[in-house]
Amino acid sequence: MAEDPYEVGRGGSRAFWADSVADAIEERDPDEPIVIKGGVSPSGVPHIGHFNEIMRGYYVAEALRDRGHEVRQVFTADDKDRLRAVPRQLADLDWNVVGLGEVDAGALGRNLGKPYTDIPDPFGCCDSYGAHFTTLLRKSAELVGVDVEFVSNTELYADGEFEAVTRRVLERADRARDVLSEYQNKVDDDYVPFLPQCAECGKITEGVTAVDLDAGEVEYVCEDVEAGDQTIEGCGHEGTATLRDGKLPWRFEWPGQWEILGVDFEPFGKDHAEGSWPSGEDVAENVLDIQPPVPMVYEWFTLDGEPLSSSSGNVITVDEVLDILEPEVFKYFFVKDPRKQRDFSVENVDQLVDEFDRFERRYFDEADGSEDEVELAERAYPMVVDEPREQRVRIPYTFAAVLGMTDDPEQREQIARKEGHIPDDAPEWAVEQALARVERAQEWASLTNNEFNYELKRAEMPDVSFDDATAAALDELADFIAEGHDGEAIQSEIYETAKRNDIDISEFFSAGYRLLFDDTEGPQLGTFIAKLDQEFVVERFRRNE
């Protein structure tokens, strides 16, 4: 029996969960190359939840490579699965997410029940629907610099790689039925663990009527198939299929992949941990007579508190994430304990960046941390970045968002240097990388329409004039800001200054917005002012050009 998937990677003396997993793999003394696998069905827009399958394997692969092992990381596209439902959204190869009204959704509906690789690409750019979404997954890995070998299930069947496994399952059909009946109620004495593809309509069906293993064929009737809450109608065709003209049911196919690819470790989501993994382990040991790989369960992600779902359209793609985050920050997100549910909050992504920056500083002994935090940084940071470089420069994310409120690149650099975020001796490459964060932070401000999504009038003061009372109040507020108070204190002082000078509070706030944005409204003024460079704010509130 394999290890408990909930316990692998947990506890022990290791600060990094991937090292604990590597320990469990080494205990088995596997042949090399050690094979690490992930996989998904390319059913729709790939999102960051799917990317769990790649990144969890990536860190374990890197941990093993650090120990001198040869490692092969593979990712199976389960593209011979049938299309069970029409998704609400699709994405082209440039990651533009579109609704079904922008593609031929009717064609997808007419192809329900067929393998993804037999369905035309809705965008007309790839060989099939399955190839299209597998390409997006491959591009996701390339965007973050993770080298993964993609394997098509359809090709494995077509090349005969599954044939020996399929034959063994059918030879042991009674045993297969006994095993599967422990996990599925619909298994009866007539159940056959093979799904032929109808030669007439192309759909994957379940109506096997006879098996001839000497000929390597099955006879079938193309019958209706239940898919969730709908029925995919069969065409009624009676035919004969070879063992390559169909597929194993998922609960047999997954263990079959382990044997064919020689898999030593595979992470999977908690949905599989409760269903597919126990049956897969049973099938591997008692039907296929193989040892299942080392398992590890990971928790799902949520997106701003809601479940990620391609079918419902609640997704964020890797490409979209990299519009607002550096690849290394996104990779750091997966360094965290995989057994804890994580929410990817676009609104609060600045907190993730700040956390990464501390993680990076700990690696370079520039920030304090607990013993475990320091050990984690020392172990995982070299896997997160392409090359650890001590002269790198990170501008705080929210300050980068402030810099994004002006379009002048030279002014951005001047302000960052003036505020001490770019050292005088920083090399050119480090300055360039540091300022690249500004564009991402600016995109984040626009995407969330937050307090930084305004145009700050830095170049010249707006053409404004104030009565004597307001002018005096602005001077008082400028003096207070010059003393170095925090945002909460400044916000409170704005109210107090308006009261002392007998000025309408809303009009006083409006005066501040006019000076900064040439507008009458904006973000919470006090906390926002505290995030700006102090000298600029003081001079502006004193109305100095």
> 486 and 524, same structural domain?
yes
What integer pLDDT is reported at residue 147 of this predicted model? 94
CA-to-CA dists, residue 189 to 42, 173, 175, 248, 337, angstroms: 32, 10, 11, 18, 44
Q: Note whether residue 228 is domain-resident.
A: no
Tokens found for residue 392 = 């790198």
Answer yes or no: are the C-beta atoms of 18 and 59 closer than 8 Å: yes
Task: Compute the half-sphere exposure of residue 255: CA atoms within 13 Å on the CB side of its CA.
Answer: 28
- Asked if the structure places residue 251 within a domain, the reply is no
**Among the three residues 448, 479, 507, which one is the final residue of a domain in this structure?**
448
Half-sphere exposure of 529 toward its Cβ, with a 13 Å CA cutoff? 32
Q: Are residues 476 and 404 in the same domain?
A: no
Residue span of the structural domain in which 402 resides: 318-448
11 phi/psi in degrees, rounded to 5: 70, -155
- Looking at the structure, tell me whether residues 426 and 325 fall in a common domain: yes
Q: How many domains does the chain have?
A: 2
User: Do 514 and 520 touch, CB atoms closer than 8 A?
Assistant: yes
Mean pLDDT, the chain cut into blocks of 10 residues (545 residues total) = 82 89 96 97 89 95 98 97 90 88 81 96 94 95 96 98 98 97 91 97 96 97 90 96 97 98 95 88 98 94 85 84 97 94 94 98 96 96 96 96 94 94 96 97 96 91 94 97 96 96 96 95 93 94 88
Residues 482 and 420 in one domain: no
- Residue 545's pLDDT is 66
Of the residues 387, 414, 448, which one is the last residue of a structural domain?
A: 448
Q: Which residue has the tokens 């010059």?
A: 482
SS3 225: strand
Q: Is residue 239 part of a domain?
A: no
Residues 379 and 481 in one domain: no
- How much is the pLDDT for 11? 66
274 in any annotated domain = no
How far is it, in rounded angstroms, from Cα 108 to Cα 38?
Answer: 27
This prediction has a pTM of 0.92
Q: Which two tokens stand for residue 110?
A: 């007419």
Q: Residue 334 maps to which CATH number? A: 1.10.10.770
Residue 308 lies in a domain: no
Residues 330 and 433 in one domain: yes
User: Are both 498 and 376 inside the same structural domain?
Assistant: no
Q: Which helix (H) or strand (E) holds 180?
A: helix 173-180
- Is the bond preceding 87 in cis, omega lying within 30 degrees of 0? no
CA angle (210, 213, 219) in 5-degree steps: 25
In a domain, 337, yes or no: yes
**Helix residue spans in 364-426 (DSSP H):** 371-384, 397-403, 409-418
Residues 340 and 437 in one domain: yes
Under a CB-based contact definition with an 8 Å cutoff, are residues 34 and 24 in contact?
Answer: no
End residue of a domain, out of 414, 448, 482: 448
- Reading the block at residue 258, the tokens are 């382990």
CATH no. for residue 520? 1.10.10.350
376 in the same domain as 327: yes
User: Is residue 537 domain-shared with residue 475, that is, in the same domain?
Assistant: yes
Is residue 437 domain-resident?
yes
Statement to judge: residues 361 and 476 lie in one domain: no
For residue 179, being part of any structural domain is answered with no
How far apart are the C-alpha atoms of 39 and 256, rounded to whole Å? 13
Q: Indicate if 372 and 441 belong to the same structural domain.
A: yes
- Eight-state DSSP code of residue 116: G
